[in-house]
Amino acid sequence: MCSYIVEKAKVTGSAKGARGWMRIDTAHVYYDHPYHAPLDHALAIDFTCEADGGRERVAVELSRESALALMQAITAALASGEAAHRAPADAERPLLVASEEVARLF
């Protein structure tokens, strides 16, 4: 049974679709039966630009394990990038959420 439960997040960025690069302002995230991936269930993320009408999208379908690994990689990349680029005045400000905290969510 499909749940059709979708989480929506406002994002700022770009994605490369079938017709080249496009602006994105929305991510729809859900865990359900995939359309294409050979999995029973997948975490799917559809990136669209609602400001442009949402007609184009870039979609990914990931296994649960891949989604968790991607979350950890994103967290690690943001933390190390932030640490490398932070100003000395920001040294007391905590870095992003630790990967252990992300793993505990699941």
In a domain, residue 1? The reply is no
In a domain, 2, yes or no: no
The pTM assigned to this predicted structure is 0.76
Within-domain flag for 37: yes
Closest CA to 52 of 72, 73, 31, 22: 22
**Co-location of 40 and 71 in the same domain:** no
Same domain, 28 and 55: yes
Q: Please check whether residues 72 and 48 belong to one and the same domain.
A: no
**Residue 42 forms beta bridges with which residues?**
32
For residues 35 and 100, which has the higher predicted lDDT (pLDDT)? Answer: 35
Q: Say if residue 57 is in the same domain as residue 73.
A: no
**Number of domains present in the structure of the chain:** 2
47 or 101: which leads in pLDDT: 47
**Given pLDDT bands bounded at 50, 70 and 90, which one contains residue 70?**
very high
Per-residue pLDDT band for 97 (boundaries 50, 70, 90) equals low
Domain co-membership, 69 together with 52: no
49 backbone dihedrals φ, ψ, rounded to 5°: -120, 100
What is the domain range of residue 89? Answer: 65-104
Same domain, 58 and 71: no
The helix (H) or strand (E) run that includes residue 64 is helix 64-85
Stretch (H or E) spanning 8: strand 7-17
Q: pLDDT at position 103, please?
A: 52
With cut-offs at 50, 70 and 90, classify the pLDDT of residue 61: very high
Question: What number of other Cβ atoms are within 10 A of residue 24's Cβ?
Answer: 22
Residues 51 and 69 in one domain: no
Quickly count: other Cβ atoms within 10 Å of residue 91's Cβ.
8
- Same domain assignment for residues 55 and 19: yes
Q: What percent of the chain has pLDDT over 90?
A: 67
